[in-house]
Structures are given as C-alpha cells and as structure tokens.
Amino acid sequence: MASHLGRYEILEELGRGSMGVVYRANDPLIGRQVAIKTVNLHDLAPEKRKEYETRFHQEAKAAGSLNHPNIVTIYDLGRSGDEVFIAMELLEGRQLHDDTTEFPRLPPAEALEIAAQVADGLAYAHRGGIVHRDIKPSNIMLVGEHLAKIADFGIAQISAPLISTRTGMIIGSPLYMSPEQILSSGTDARSDIFSLGIVLYQMLTGQRPFSGNDAHSVMYKIVNEEPPSLGSHHGNFPPALEAIVSRCLAKKPQDRYQDAGELANDLRACRNQLLGIPATTGYSALMGAQLKRMASPGAVPPWLLAAAFVSIGLIFMFDLSTGDATQMHLLYIFPLVLISYHCRQVKLVYAAVGLALVLQGVILIGFSTLSPFSRALLALLAMPSNVLIAYIARVARANFLAIDHLAPYDDLTGLYNRTLFESLTELEVSRQQRSHGAFSLAVVTIANLAEVRRTNGPQAVDGAVRLLAKILREHIRHSDIAARIAEDKFAIMMPDTGAAGCDLFCRQIAVKIKTLMRKAAVPAIVRIGHVTPDQAPASAAELFDRADGTMHDTRDNAGKDAAAR
C-alpha cells in the first residue's frame, strides 16, 4: 500500500471495488481525515487514458459542486502515477447494504424516511443537471441514527469509458438499472427515480422487485415484466405506499415521478400517515388527526368531494322549500371552498362554481319575492362572493403546496431558496406583463468557490457564503427579495426599481463586499450583474441569463466607485 497519494497521507484501506481502492487518509494542509477513492488507469492505451482523465476531471468537478446534507461532499481530485483519485468526506457510518447478501426488512416508516432523504439529495443534484446513474444500497450511507447520504455522485458517468474499454459491459449496477439504461436509450433524472424505487421496494420487503438467477434474467424482467405488489410479501402496506412504489417502477420514464422532490414529499406524507394515527387512538384524537389532515390539499376522499357537488343541489332544493327563496346563498360557500381547495382538476372547480351561480340565478329570477332592486343588490353581493371564495381557496391551495413541499429557506444562509425565489420572480414577470411595472434583478456570484474549497477547505466556503448572505440581508430594502439560487450564486429582486437605482445599489454593495471579505480574510472573488428589463421578459430564466451576461468583479466595481468619488 502506497504511503501517499498526492499530498494525502494514506492511513488505512477501507475497501476495494472493480475500479480501484478506497482509503482513509489525512490531509496535512488542514489536518482533516478524508476518504480517497482511486481509479486505476494503467490498463488503458495512452490516447484513451488522456481522454478518460479529461472526462474524469470534468465530471468530478461537476459532482464537487454539490453541497447538500444528503450528498457526500467531494473536496478534491488529483493524480498519482497511473491512478486518478477523488478526496471526499469521510463518514463514520455504514452502507445501507452491500448489494449482495440478503436484505433484512426495515420498518416502513424508517424505509420511507431513508428514501425521502435520498430523494431530497437527488432533487438537488438533478436541478444542477447532474444524474447519479448508479443508485443502489451500497451507494447510500447511513450516518448516526437518522441521516442518509448518497455516495459516488457522478462516478458511474465518470467510469463509463473505462469499464466499456475493459469489459464492454453496460454502465451501472444491473440489479438496480432502469429500463432505458439497459436498452441504452438515454438516461435522465427519472432513471435515478427508478433505481431508488428498487431500493425502496427492497427495504420494505427484503427482496428486490426483479429477481433472477443471473444479471441477464434480472435485466430482462426489468424491461419486460411488472414486479409483484408489495402486498404479495405479506406486509401490511397502505395503498398510498403501493401507489408510490408502482409509480417509481413504471417502465416508461414519462409515467414515473418527473421530479425527485415530488417523490420526497409523497414519501414523507405516507410516513406521516403511517405514524400519525395509531390503531389504539381514541375518538377525540382521531377526529383531531382527521381535521389536521383535511388542511392538506387533496387529502379528503373522493366521496366527500362528490358529496360537496350533491350538496349544491340540496341547498338549491332546500332554498326552494322555504317560503321566501332568498336566504341560502351563503350556504353555497361551504361546498365551493371544499371543492376548490381539495379538487385536483380545475375544470371541476369551474363546473362547481358555474353550477352554484346558475342555481342562485334561477332562485333570484324565478322564485324570489324581493323587489327588482333588492334582487339586483343580492346578486351583486352573493354571486361574486362565490367566485371570490373559490379563487381564494385555490390560491390557498397553491400556497400550501408550495410551503409544504419546499424548504422555503436555505439552511446555511437563511435566505429564500431557488425554487421559491423563481416562483416569486415568475409572479413579478407576470405582473409586469399585465401592468408594465418596472423591476430590477441583481445576481451575485462567488466566482472562485471551487478554488477556495480546494485550497482552504469547506469551512472557508461556508464562511464566504454566510458572509455574502449577511451583507445582502443588511443592505436590501424591505421591498427587496434576496435568495440563494445555487451553491455560489445569490439573487436580489427589486420591484419598482429603475436601471439607475439598481446600478447604484450594485456599485455600493460591491464596495461593501470587497471591504468585508478583506477584513474577514476570505479569499473569495465576487462578481455582480444586474438587469432592468424595458419589456416584460418571457420567463425568470431569461432574466437570470441576462443578469449573468453583465457580470463583473467587485474589484472593478469598487474601482469605478472610487473614481466617481
């Protein structure tokens, strides 16, 4: 065993695989222990070796940009002789499983929590355009009691040229491949979701959904056969869990979850359902849990939505049965709120509102004994209220889903996260398209984050990110919205701000950033770009691109500001 790889001092061997060896090592630069994963290149021809090494560096850099609590962090990459290596976070934990021996069943709630954390990590990586391609139990690490981390991000894609050169095999682990991986028809984020579905099935049942005597028979079943239901393994699994697993394991990518974040939300909702109402719960607790559950959009059963439609007709009949058919208009609000808040199909919401309006119109025109003036006044008050209440319930549904399905704030900085910020920006774009309102968007980027991580470690990176977030928080106005939209990128939306005001703000904050970064001894180079669109842009993405196109260093900004003074 070599004593060193690059600057790293090898302490012990942790494991071996088909591609190379994993070591525990010490980084003498900052006194930290790391895991070193090596890949041996000595079997490759010189031209293939150079091609592979270039690809290795590209993919490892991409994987190294991932900074998420459910993804193993990559610190460094290098070469020593015929071995290229990656230095990554050393975890004091264990693999979920070794992929080979019998898999013990996990309690459903525990399996769902592990799968949800893995889905969180995948969602983060997929948003950055990085697909794992080799999700399997041995690439899922469990740290402590509750934390799951995905290992080897990007390694499967990195290893593709090397493995095909050596063996001509398909890249990935055959037992956990998606159909499109097996058929070599192109892979994307949905392939990772299929593989995670296999892992989840295995955690719940102790068996893989596709079994066979060899890899070829397993791959045939993955492509051509449906897996046995969870219930066939004598487990007591709720229908919602059956539906989640079935959707993950759909043969066609378009039939699966399209986003790992959506999968994570469903997994946690199912877990909460399993844990929320024990079998011995009393009547009062059961009612409280049901009322709490009804606060979640779409949580009511279909029969209750059908009953809401029927109740609209019953209110009409009850109104007719009274002596003066003008008293029941407010009662329509209750079924309309229920339908608007819980119904998935907006066409049904339109139908319910239309039905209520028609029936109320029939009452006012044909059966009311009020004067024409009173009828008109009641129509002006009662009928629009139905439309308004349905709209408010629909908006509440959208906001609930956005807040419930997203962590709205970035953990490290306390600022809005990218998804929520993009939603807010899209709303501002829509406002400008309607009313020609003016606003500006500034983008702030730490240009040398990878270099800071490599030379000073992840603590320096976190320090630079926190400091920049602090500066932004202290210098935005109350009407401004700041967010962290990537590991190294921040954005500020400034409604009702002209181009001159935005430019002045950016020049002032550039000076502040440069000054505070120097005082904190953080070797970060920060760039700022901004845009104030004259016409409504097509989307928030277009705004980001235009702001990125105006990037310049804060050092240049500071120089201009000093010259102006």
Residues that are catalytic: 134
The residues facing 482 across adjacent strands are 492
Compute how many other C-beta atoms are within 10 angstroms of the C-beta atom of residue 409: 14
What is the side-by-side order of every strand in the sheet holding 21-27?
4-5, 8-16, 21-27, 32-40, 83-89, 74-80
Residue 169: partners with Cβ closer than 8 Å, 6 or more residues away: 163
SS3 547: helix
Residue 475: partners with Cβ closer than 8 Å, 6 or more residues away: 505, 508, 509, 512
Please tell me the distance from the alpha carbon of residue 73 to that of residue 513, in angstroms, as a whole number: 27
Distances from the Cα of 41 to the Cα of 37, 46, 163, 529, angstroms: 13, 9, 11, 42
Query: Is 103 within 8 Å of 110 (Cβ atoms)?
Result: no
CA 456 to chain centre: 29
Query: Is 506 within 8 Å of 476 (Cβ atoms)?
Result: no
SS3 348: helix
Nearest by Cα to 266 from 71, 115, 107:
115
Distances from the Cα of 66 to the Cα of 73, 134, 195, 460, angstroms: 7, 17, 20, 16
Residue 251 is classified by DSSP as S
Give me Rg for the CA atoms of the chain.
29
Side-chain half-sphere exposure of 338, counting CA atoms within 13 A: 20
At which residue do the structure tokens 């962090």 appear?
Answer: 73
Backbone φ and ψ of 441, nearest 5°:
-135, 125
CA 337 to chain centre: 30
